[in-house]
Every structure is written in structure tokens, then in C-alpha cells.
Amino acid sequence: SPITRDQSVHIMATCAQPVRPSFRCAAAYNARRARGFPPARRRCSAAMAAAASDEETASHSDVDRANLEAAATARLQALMPGHDAHAMVERCPELLDVSPRAFATRLMQLQTLLPGLDVLDVAAAQPRLLTLPDVADVVSESISKLESLCPEDYCPADALGIVEENPELLLRLQHFNANDDFSRLPMDVQNMLVVGGGGGGAGWKSWQDDDVF
């Protein structure tokens, strides 16, 4: 049957009454209040304050880090005119840790080892070179390996020309030995090394005629 008017009034009056805590809860609350302040609430307040402090510290730290990264990227852009410093940093975040002095020194070393080449183009293509403290040794060794790995009947002895077209070889050749068999190099490396009269087909022919494959 539908609720009568008196029942509705009673229900509304009951819902409007405050909920009274049980005797045990009230006793515990009064005991905490008698000690000056509820310990549970005090612990909660302290935890909230500590969390807020940590969050504020982390926020400041994030802002500081972002400012430092922006300044380092701007400095890199000034040292690499005509190139996208942001793209370089995306490819190699370690660039942000290179000091301007180290950066300039490594560019000068590259210029000495790669005469006639635009070292800014080389560095933009392979930004990790600028993070290597021993970049002079790495590049010098790679040039030497390149000349040894590239057979005379496949290509002319134009190591710098090959590097200009394929600057990634300066890093990739670290993983090979100077006396490695040309035909056993990865096919893409063979094709980078084979220029002039040889062409990519010469590398393919060598691989195709190899008995191992």
C-alpha cells in the first residue's frame, strides 16, 4: 500500500536526525580529545603536510630541470647553426650533458680528421659523436678500418667521400675488425663501402657467390 502522509513525515524526521556514534566510538573520541587533539587526525595532518612538501619540492625540481634542458638546447642551437638542435637532442639526450668547451674541442677534432667535410653536417647526422670523450680515436680508427675493409677492386680509396655520404659508418665500424672479410659484412655496410665502379651490385655479387651462404 502507498506510504501515508504521517509515515512520510516520520521518515523525513528520522533522516534529519544526526547519526549518534556508538558508546565505544564516542568514548574513544573523547579520550583522544582529552589528550589535546585526536592523534589519528594529527598523524593524518602531518602526513598530508609531508606529502605536500614533497610534491612542491618535486615540482620545483621539474621546473629547474626543464629550464636547464631548455638552456642547454639553446646553447647547442647556437653552436649548430642551420641544424635542428631539438631533433639532435631527441636522438641523443646525452648531448645536454656536454659542456660548450668539450663540444667545441670535439668539433675541432672532427674537422682535423675529416678535412674538407662539413663537420656540422656530420655531427647533426650522428650526434652521439659529440658525446664521446675519445671521439678522435674512434673516428681515426673507423677511417683506418674503412680503408682496410674496402677492397681496391670494389671502390676507390676515397674514405672521406664515403664518410660524407654515410657518416653513420664512423660509429658502426667500431663493431668490426680491420681484417674482416668484406663479403661477410652486413649487406647495407657493403653497399655503403662500395662506390665508383663497384656500386651496390658488386657487394651483392660478392655475397651471392660466397659459398658460406
Residues 128-147: tens digit of each pLDDT: 999 999 999 999 999 998 88
Predicted pLDDT of residue 158 = 79
Q: Residue 120: which residues within 8 A CB-CB, separation 6 or more? A: 80, 81, 82, 83, 107
Average pLDDT value for residue range 106-113: 94
Residue 7 has pLDDT above 60, yes or no: no
Residue 52 has pLDDT above 90, yes or no: no
Instruction: Say which residue, 126 or 1, is predicted with more confidence.
Output: 126
Residue 91 has pLDDT above 80, yes or no: yes
Instruction: Say which residue, 21 or 73, is predicted with more confidence.
Output: 73
Nearest Cα to Cα of residue 121 among 83, 177, 176, 77 = 83
Instruction: Say which residue, 172 or 23, is predicted with more confidence.
Output: 172
Distance CA 177, CA 101 (A): 32
User: What confidence tier does 46 reach under pLDDT thresholds 50, 70, 90?
Assistant: low
Q: Residue 115: which residues within 8 A CB-CB, separation 6 or more? A: 160
Residues 200-211: tens digit of each pLDDT: 444 443 444 444
Is residue 70 a contact partner of residue 76, using CB atoms and an 8 Å limit? Answer: no
Q: Residue 97: which residues within 8 A CB-CB, separation 6 or more? A: 131
Is residue 90 a contact partner of residue 128, using CB atoms and an 8 Å limit? Answer: no
Is residue 140 a contact partner of residue 159, using CB atoms and an 8 Å limit? Answer: no
Predicted pLDDT of residue 5 = 52
Instruction: Say which residue, 152 or 81, is predicted with more confidence.
Output: 81
Distance CA 180, CA 87 (A): 34
User: What confidence tier does 123 reach under pLDDT thresholds 50, 70, 90?
Assistant: very high
